[in-house]
């Protein structure tokens, strides 16, 4: 396969991706996220930082500010379970950080799966230079 056939951002087997397609994908991703956020609010989940790509893919990142590593892990596990994301990965990061990610698809408003989503969290080691109070 050539790069043109597999590159989602340019010309491919079926022609170039248009701005109208990207807008449609973003609108669909936004609608799916709105549904997820309503359900997550009712379930009492901690809010995540969300981004939406130009292809409608969603990324939720667990906030680390004011959370311990145990809190971050619990938030990550709760969201990954809530979204039924079976593919979960752990990878080493820089300076002792551990990167967690869960990947899958979330349903749209009709319940049909098809909106890619990634939930991620970075677990940082405790700072040894902090002084105890």
CATH number, position 107: 3.30.460
Written as six digits, the tokens of 104 are 């899958």
Q: For residue 5, tell me if it sits in a domain.
A: no
pLDDT band at 3 (very low <50, low <70, confident <90, very high): very low
Helix, strand and coil content of the chain, in percent to the nearest 5, comes to 35, 25, 40
Q: For residue 9, tell me if it sits in a domain.
A: no
pLDDT band at 12 (very low <50, low <70, confident <90, very high): low
Q: For residue 34, tell me if it sits in a domain.
A: yes
Residue 65 belongs to what domain range? 16-123
Per-residue pLDDT at 2 exceeds 50: no
Q: For residue 69, tell me if it sits in a domain.
A: yes
Q: For residue 65, tell me if it sits in a domain.
A: yes
Q: For residue 106, tell me if it sits in a domain.
A: yes
The total of structural domains in the chain comes to 1
- Rounded CA-CA distance 103/40 in Å is 17
Give the largest Cα separation in the chain, rounded. 63
Per-residue pLDDT at 80 exceeds 90: yes
Q: For residue 31, tell me if it sits in a domain.
A: yes
pLDDT band at 56 (very low <50, low <70, confident <90, very high): confident
Q: Give the residue with greater pLDDT, 96 vs 22.
A: 22
Three-class SS string for 23-77?
HHHHHHHHHHHHHHHHHHHHHCCCCCEEEECCCCCEEEECCCCCCCHHHHHHHHH
Q: For residue 32, tell me if it sits in a domain.
A: yes
């Amino acid at each position: 396969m050539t790069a043109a056939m597999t590159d989602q951002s340019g010309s491919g087997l079926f022609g170039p991706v248009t701005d109208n397609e990207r807008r449609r994908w973003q609108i669909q991703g936004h609608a799916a996220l709105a549904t997820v956020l309503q359900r997550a609010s009712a379930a009492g989940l901690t809010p995540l930082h969300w981004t939406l790509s130009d292809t409608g893919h969603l990324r939720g990142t667990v906030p680390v500010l004011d959370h311990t590593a145990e809190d971050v892990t619990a938030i990550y596990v709760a969201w990954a379970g809530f979204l039924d994301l079976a593919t979960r990965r752990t990878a080493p990061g820089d300076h002792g950080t551990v990167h967690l990610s869960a990947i899958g698809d979330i349903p749209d408003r009709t319940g049909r799966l098809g909106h890619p989503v990634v939930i991620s969290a970075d677990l940082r080691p405790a700072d040894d230079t902090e002084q105890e109070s």
